[in-house]
Amino acid sequence: MTLSDHVVAVLQARTGSTRLPGKVLADVAGRSMLARVCERLGRAGTIGRVIVATTTEPADRAVAAECARLGVPCFRGSEWDVLGRYHGAATSCGAEIVVRVTADCPLIDPEVVDRVVLAFLDARPDYASNTLERTWPRGLDTEVFPAAALARAHREARLPHEREHVTPHFYCGPQQFRLQPVTGPGRLGHLRWTVDTPDDLRLIRAIYARLGPDGSFSWRDAARLFDREPQLAELNRHVRQKPLVAA
């Protein structure tokens, strides 16, 4: 058994998005968004297994069915206690190191995932992420932490946003957890490659249409595409990320 067998990507997915319901099953160049994320994660050399963490809500039977079609394990838990759902998913498959990715990121990149995982393995912090200092586009977000730290957060986290968003208990209390930021080679944090609205989905479909429906392109290919066609960024520039805590 290699180290990567202990590294499990827990992929957060549900159909109940408020701004774009059913987005994780939306078509992206002939495959579901969930399938796109799974296939791209599958190319990361540091990832041993992928498990989807969805909810017990009736609507998410469709997510479980898509997982079965893809041959990807699926764990079902609370819709709103996502931290508890993550902990349950990680425990169910015996994960030692957890990689958190969300299913609304169909450009998630194996090179970036590997870079964050390797930074974690080198420094062995409680939490490593490329979101602590945003240098890659939103949508390449990768968070890595030991299953033991996830279990601790599950025990300790009390605030609603900590339960709903999984990892704020790590990075909102740096005096408790050792944090490792992982930065990229450029300054592309202004780009939005995640899907939360119809305009986000429109952009992702445009990227796949230009770079190929087989999805083998990299984040570097997408960045070069934006250099050639800077107007693409206008498709969703107006979209604002939902805050962790509602005002």
Q: 3-state DSSP call for residue 230?
A: helix
> pTM, whole model, 2 decimals?
0.94
Mean pLDDT of the chain: 93
247 has a pLDDT exceeding 50: no
pLDDT given for residue 4 in this prediction? 67
CB 217 within 8 A of CB 211: yes
Q: What is the rounded distance in angstroms from the CA atom of residue 146 to the CA atom of residue 166?
A: 14
- Residue among 43, 52, 63 nearest 8 (CA): 52
Supply the DSSP string of 124-158, one letter for each residue.
Answer: --SEEESTTTT-SPBT---EEEEHHHHHHHHHH--
Average pLDDT over residues 190-214: 97
74 has a pLDDT exceeding 90: yes
Average pLDDT over residues 49-68: 97
Set out the domains of the chain in order of their start, with CATH numbers: 3-235 (3.90.550.10)
Average pLDDT over residues 52-71: 98
